[in-house]
């Protein structure tokens, strides 16, 4: 399910609050129409996958220009998801287009935030925080002018690229994502994003540590196996008593830690380590003299 749960919830939040601030309502309407509106000689048709966004657009048309817009279902998209079209037409709509145009050059922070809310509801998406896709928020549109405007309005730096014939303004940093969400007034989403991102990072760190420990355990096991194979080359009869006893202990207890071997031999840990190192050196020498294959580094422990 691509960008569905988290991004769709953000669109619903934006839609539910659309028009709640008279100061930015027209900027929101301008952002929505620029993001997904198709103008013709008599009006504009807006298309969306979100019924909440479609209803918000109808409210904005009515509250800002007294226009009665009409909602209808249209052909599903290529994934079978239902789509909705909002049609507004007539002379008031065409006049509204001229009144909304200056908002494309907005300099005020409130108007820019309102425009971004509309733009995101119509053409934005964001990955689930802490998910496998990493941090990613983007605006996608056929026109370069639109994504450049979005990048100019955004407080976070947005990179621009062209993907499959469409223009994309995006950020791949956690700070970039949360800055844009905060600018759009989605403060609860920022808290949720940061909490999930921290949890996801903690899980990733735990997995890295687990993989590191597993790799170390594997290396230790292979080293122990090589040590056992090398020590079996030694002839106990030609060894001094102290080394012979340590050889017998190591072969009998192949998984025992150095401290355990020292306890079993009734000697200090340092003495046990010294004897094991001597045994390993003798085993390596014997392997070289026999022309054995390289067994890799052998460790006393």
Residue 230 binned pLDDT confidence (cut-offs 50, 70, 90) = confident
Poorest-pLDDT segment among 54-58, 60-64, 281-285:
281-285
Rounded to an integer, the average pLDDT of 179-188 is: 93
CA 275 to CA 255: how far, in whole Å? Answer: 17
CA 226 to CA 220: how far, in whole Å? Answer: 10
Rounded to an integer, the average pLDDT of 24-34 is: 97
Task: Indicate the DSSP class of residue 255.
Answer: T
Q: Which DSSP string corresponds to 36-64?
A: HEEE-SSEEEEEES-HHHHHHHHHHHHHH
Residue whose C-alpha is closest to residue 126's, from 185, 164, 173: 173
Rounded to an integer, the average pLDDT of 42-48 is: 96
What are the pLDDT digits (tens) for 127-138?
A: 887 777 778 999
Phi, psi values for residue 47, rounded to 5°: -120, 140
Give the E-state strand segments of the chain in sequence order. 37-39, 43-48, 70-74, 83-89, 124-126, 137-141, 159-163, 166-171
CA 206 to CA 216: how far, in whole Å? Answer: 15
Residue 238 binned pLDDT confidence (cut-offs 50, 70, 90) = confident
**Residues contacting 95, CB < 8 A, separation 6+:** 65
Q: Give the pLDDT score at 6.
A: 84
Poorest-pLDDT segment among 7-21, 94-108, 151-165, 188-202:
188-202
How is residue 229 written in tokens? 């194979």
Contact 272, 265 (CB under 8 A): yes
Q: Which domains does the chain have, with CATH numbers?
A: 5-185 (3.10.28.10), 203-290 (1.10.10)
Q: Give the pLDDT score at 3.
A: 41
- Look at residue 213 and tell me whether its pLDDT is greater than 60: no
Percent of the chain whose predicted confidence (pLDDT) is above 70 = 83
Residue 206 binned pLDDT confidence (cut-offs 50, 70, 90) = low
Q: Which one is predicted more confidently, 121 or 4?
A: 121
Its sign, for the CA torsion 29, 35, 40, 41, is positive
CA 125 to chain centre: 13
CA 174 to CA 48: how far, in whole Å? Answer: 27
**Residues contacting 151, CB < 8 A, separation 6+:** 157, 158, 160, 169
- Look at residue 114 and tell me whether its pLDDT is greater than 60: yes
What mean pLDDT value characterizes the chain? 85
């Amino acid at each position: 399910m691509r960008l569905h749960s988290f991004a769709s919830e953000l669109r619903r939040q934006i839609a539910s609050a659309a028009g709640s601030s008279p100061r930015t309502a027209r900027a929101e309407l301008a952002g929505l129409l620029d993001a997904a509106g198709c103008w013709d000689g008599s009006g504009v048709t807006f298309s969306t996958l979100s019924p909440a966004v479609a209803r918000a657009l109808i409210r904005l048309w009515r509250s800002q220009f007294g226009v009665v817009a009409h909602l209808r279902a249209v052909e599903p998209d290529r994934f079978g998801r239902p789509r909705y079209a909002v049609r507004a037409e007539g002379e008031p709509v065409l006049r509204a287009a001229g009144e909304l145009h200056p908002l494309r050059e907005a300099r005020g922070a409130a108007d820019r935030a309102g425009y971004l809310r509309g733009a995101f509801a119509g053409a934005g998406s964001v990955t689930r925080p802490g998910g496998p896709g990493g941090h990613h928020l983007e605006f996608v549109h056929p026109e370069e002018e639109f994504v450049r405007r979005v990048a100019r309005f955004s407080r976070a730096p947005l990179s621009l690229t062209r993907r499959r014939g469409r223009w994309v303004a995006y950020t791949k940093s956690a700070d970039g994502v949360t800055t844009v969400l905060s600018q759009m007034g989605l403060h609860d989403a920022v808290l949720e994003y940061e909490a999930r991102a921290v949890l996801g990072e903690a899980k990733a760190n735990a997995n890295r540590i687990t993989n590191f420990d597993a790799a170390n355990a594997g290396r230790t096991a292979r080293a122990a196996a090589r040590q056992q194979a090398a020590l079996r080359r030694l002839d106990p009869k030609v060894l001094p008593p102290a080394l012979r006893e340590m050889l017998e202990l190591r072969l009998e207890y192949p998984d025992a830690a150095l401290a355990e071997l020292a306890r079993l031999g009734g000697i200090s840990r340092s003495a046990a380590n010294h004897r094991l190192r001597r045994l390993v050196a003798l085993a390596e020498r014997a392997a070289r003299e026999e022309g054995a294959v390289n067994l890799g580094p052998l460790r006393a422990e």
